[in-house]
């Protein structure tokens, strides 16, 4: 397979515009597919990159030859792209080809052999983010102010952790999705990564004795005056609450901000740290895996067990009696 491909003289802006137009024409017809919105966004971005790469070299990318896909994946590996991202790129190429009725070049023996070689070369171990455990959250909370932004961030972080929520689930909540009960707060997640048909999940948030997530949400609603619509919103410098909702990127930024203030390594934390923090804290306290899955909405126990093994790696250690 060759990498000696001709180079286009078009400007990068022209190439980018053409790539967006090509991909958008397909995305419009795929919005109602079984793929989640975030997955479609990731596929769209990946396919735009592939198309732009191909235009620079004057090669066809839809449909693409296996040699073209193999050369692209090799080039992105050399650029420093991780194995997990390369898998997304390959899935995107497969997705768009099948959507247009083309045979996917990503399934050819040549491409699969190249991918096996890439995985052996750069490895496939994921870079795990640190869980925002109950103890770490307590350290973060100590640095939150009592102003509007502080109360919002406290409510967002505690509700996200207590509900083991994904970023998209957390920012997608509306006030109408909350219902206080004697025992705590019922939160309805109307659509999520594992519930694309929108059947909904009811998540129980207890009052709690230490972190008190329900109280934090109540205080945020009281001070913000929000009675309907998006639960978590941007706040401008003057303390005015927007009518829009926060983005999922905002969740990661907020978590990182307080991780830094608590003296933790910022790069080790992300929006997913809240979800991982619930599983880790629950497992560390001996919670049953089935009860953990009730809260996290995981469908595969193997995923949860990976968190539990990490949390309990020193518990009853085989070398405890002689090391």
List, as one string, the DSSP characters of 289-313: HHHHHHHH--S-HHHHHHHHHHHTT
Give CA–CA dist 109/84, Å, rounded. 20
Active-site option among 44, 136, 275, 297: 275
The half-sphere exposure of 5 on its side-chain side, counting CA atoms within 13 A, is 22
Q: Any residues with CB less than 8 A from the CB of 67 and at least 6 apart, and which? A: 1, 2, 110
Establish whether 201 is a catalytic residue: no
3-state DSSP call for residue 64? strand
Active-site option among 307, 309, 313, 317: 307
Active-site option among 136, 151, 152, 298: 298
Cβ atoms of residues 155 and 219 within 8 Å: yes
Task: Return phi, psi of residue 208, to 5°.
Answer: 80, 155
Establish whether 95 is a catalytic residue: no
Establish whether 207 is a catalytic residue: no
Which tokens hold the place of 133? 């455990």
Establish whether 298 is a catalytic residue: yes
- Closest of 154, 125, 129 to residue 276, by C-alpha: 129
**CA dist list (Å): 220 to 40, 158, 184, 188:** 33, 12, 16, 18
Please state, as a whole number, how many other Cβ atoms lie within 10 Å of the Cβ of residue 22.
17
Active-site option among 193, 249, 309, 315: 193
Active-site option among 166, 167, 256, 297: 166
Establish whether 166 is a catalytic residue: yes
- For the packed helices 289-296 and 272-284, what is the interaxial angle rounded to 10 degrees? 160
Number of residues in the chain: 323
- DSSP character for 32? T
**CA dist list (Å): 146 to 155, 158, 171, 194:** 12, 15, 21, 36
Active-site option among 76, 97, 136, 272: 272
Q: Give the residue numbers marked as catalytic.
A: 166, 193, 272, 275, 298, 307
């Amino acid at each position: 397979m060759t990498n000696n491909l001709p180079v286009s003289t078009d400007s990068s802006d022209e190439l980018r515009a053409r790539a967006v137009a090509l991909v958008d024409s397909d995305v419009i017809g795929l919005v109602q597919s079984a793929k989640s919105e975030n997955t479609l966004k990731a596929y769209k971005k990946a396919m735009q990159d592939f198309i732009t790469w191909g235009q620079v070299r004057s090669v066809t990318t839809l449909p693409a030859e296996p040699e073209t896909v193999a050369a692209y994946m090799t080039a992105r590996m050399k650029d420093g792209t991780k194995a997990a991202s390369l898998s997304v790129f390959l899935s995107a190429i497969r997705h768009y080809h099948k959507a247009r009725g083309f045979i996917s070049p990503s399934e050819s023996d040549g491409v699969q052999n190249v991918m096996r070689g890439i995985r052996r070369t750069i490895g496939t171990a994921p870079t795990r983010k640190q869980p925002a455990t109950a103890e770490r959250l307590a350290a973060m909370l100590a640095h939150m102010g009592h102003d509007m932004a502080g109360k919002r961030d406290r409510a967002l972080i505690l509700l996200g952790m207590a509900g083991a929520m994904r970023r998209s689930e957390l920012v997608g909540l509306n006030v109408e999705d909350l219902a206080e009960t004697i025992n705590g707060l019922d939160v309805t997640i109307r659509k999520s990564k594992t519930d694309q048909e929108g059947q909904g999940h009811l998540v129980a948030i207890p009052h709690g004795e230490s972190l008190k997530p329900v109280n934090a949400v109540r205080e945020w609603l009281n001070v913000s005056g929000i009675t309907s619509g998006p639960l978590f919103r941007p706040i401008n410098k003057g303390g005015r609450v927007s009518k829009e909702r926060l983005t999922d990127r905002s969740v990661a930024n907020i978590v990182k901000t307080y991780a830094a203030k608590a003296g933790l390594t910022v790069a080790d934390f992300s929006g997913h740290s809240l979800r991982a923090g619930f599983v880790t804290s629950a497992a560390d306290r001996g919670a049953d895996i089935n009860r953990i899955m009730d809260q996290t909405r995981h469908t595969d126990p193997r995923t949860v067990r990976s968190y539990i093994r990490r949390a309990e790696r020193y518990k009853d250690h085989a070398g405890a009696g002689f090391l």
